[in-house]
Amino acid sequence: MEASVCIQQKGTVEEFTGHNIRVKIHREASCGHCGAKGLCYIGEGTERIVEIGDFSPDLKTGDTVGISITRGMGNKAVVLGYMVPFIILLSTLIISNYSGAREWLSGLLALISLVPYYILLYLFRNRLRKTFRLSARKKEN
């Protein structure tokens, strides 16, 4: 495993869709002992299908592959998924609370302040999909 690889998981090639492949990721027994299993989407279910654009040219349906994401992309995902919403929520809560709004209203405004952020994430989903690229390489059984 490379030093820059953050997460590496094993999967099976399901199908080819244009310039991408669809890979079924199986939950491994090690997920049960991982401290980040509650945060990791791979650990949520028994199977997950992901589309991957960066893959070995010699792959075919049914091959076992190693799927990886770099540490930099993992850090970006944490910032966009957890840190930015937390900062928006907390800053709105503090500002509205110090401006004299009641506590319930401050909490409601803080929650509502996240709506534009998530709408922006949704609108830029195609650009984000290009940024967060998984890669798949053939793995020997």
pLDDT digits (tens, 9 = 90+) for 37-90: 555 555 455 677 777 877 777 787 888 888 877 778 888 888 999 999 999 999
Is the sign of the CA dihedral 109, 83, 76, 8 positive or negative?
Answer: negative
Under a CB-based contact definition with an 8 Å cutoff, are residues 7 and 41 in contact? no
Q: Are strands 54-55 and 135-138 parallel, antiparallel or unpaired?
A: parallel
Under a CB-based contact definition with an 8 Å cutoff, are residues 30 and 43 in contact? no
pTM score, whole prediction = 0.63
Domain range list for the chain: 5-138
